Amino acid sequence: MYLAWEAMVALIPDLYIDTMGYAFTFHVVSLLGSIPIGAYVHYPTISTDMLARVRSRRRWHTNTDAITSSTVLSQAKLIYYRIFMYYYARSLRMANFLMVNSSWTKNHIDSILQHSDFLLELVHFIPPFVLLALLAPNSGTKSARIVYPPCDTREMAKSSLDGRERVILSVAQFRPEKDHAAQLHSFQKLLEAHPEYRNQTESQVQLVLVGGSRNAEDAARVEGLKNLSRELGIQDQVVFVVNASYPTVLSWLSRASIGLSTMVDEHFGINVVEFMAAGVIPVTHASGGPLKDIVVPFNGQYTGYHAKTPEEFADALHTVLTLSKEDELALRQRARTWAVQRFSEEEFERPGMRVAGDRGCLSITGNLR
């Protein structure tokens, strides 16, 4: 909020658009300048799902065992989340328009915009909290509009669709929510059910995990995954490519047959778009953006596969690996065409301008008022 104050003191813009998730800055902008406020939300700072997990004391990567095992810590976190959610919702409602990157994000943002907390509403009738209610009226934007993010797929789309290697490729930072362990378990289930994919066979399949390691914690996670691959007995067919250069990533995308993504509730999934643009057949978790926005039918035909459990992922991987040459090539081409057409920079610009224009923030010619 201080950064927003500093910026607004230096220059009052014609239009303020937040793309970093700093909804609380809307109060500063509204106070200092009578200008339209908008936001492009990639991921909600807090969600009703997160609130529900804390309330029910369910373990998640945002709700660790240290919290769930303690009644005191769980209640303290719940109070904090309730307060944070209440003011986050009020902040979002101050915007003149809200854009989001996927159906999943829209559902969550719309839920947050409708969120209320009776106890906290009562508190705002007590001085000095009543002042906060006057400064930030609890009304405004009621829903968000979807504007898919621009994906520069030009380099990926240059790769040939023919001559692909029997490589299952994962491209994701080694963060806990990406759930690389699920990929290893799924691959182990595939090899267990279909021994013909093991080493020393003509149908040998390889799992390649390409991802960034940001710090010591990520590096330790990579070592843990390597240990897990050994425990599962698949280490000879698993390759880790850490902090690869962009040309190296492009090389793997041009060689791989299947793209694997196991993150639950991925808010969009640019890596999945890149798979498809490169002609890599996607097998993704049946949730979030990959399910509702990306790996969807195109011209009435499927563009990839979805799964939830390791067994389901193994079945989907086997299905792709046993496609006929004609069906495989057609699927690669269909996935590429859909990704390049739907998620281009041009597609991003048109609805973005239209949303702002619908809210009266832009003139008909697209210039700022």
pTM for this entry:
0.85
Residue 368, phi then psi, degrees to nearest 5: -70, 140
Burial of 147 (0-12, 13-18, 19+ CB in 10 A): buried
Task: For residue range 181-240, list pLDDT tens digits in order.
Answer: 999 999 999 999 999 999 877 789 999 999 999 999 999 999 999 999 999 999 999 999
d(CA 260, CA 306): 10
Q: What own/partner pairs with CB < 8 Å and gap ≥ 24 does 251-256 have?
A: 252/167, 252/169, 252/171, 252/208, 252/210, 253/156, 253/159, 253/169, 253/171, 253/278, 253/280, 254/159, 254/160, 254/278, 255/164, 255/165, 255/167, 256/164, 256/165, 256/167, 256/168, 256/169, 256/208, 256/280
> Would you say residue 59 has pLDDT above 90?
no
Note the pLDDT of residue 49: 86
Note the pLDDT of residue 367: 37
Greater pLDDT, 160 or 34: 160
Q: Give the 3-state secondary structure of residue 134.
A: helix
Contact criterion met (CB below 8 Å) for 278 and 333: no
| Cβ neighbours, 10 Å, residue 132 | 13
Band (356; pLDDT cuts 50, 70, 90): low
Task: For residue range 98-116, list pLDDT tens digits in order.
Answer: 999 999 999 999 999 999 8
Q: Give the 3-state secondary structure of residue 83.
A: helix
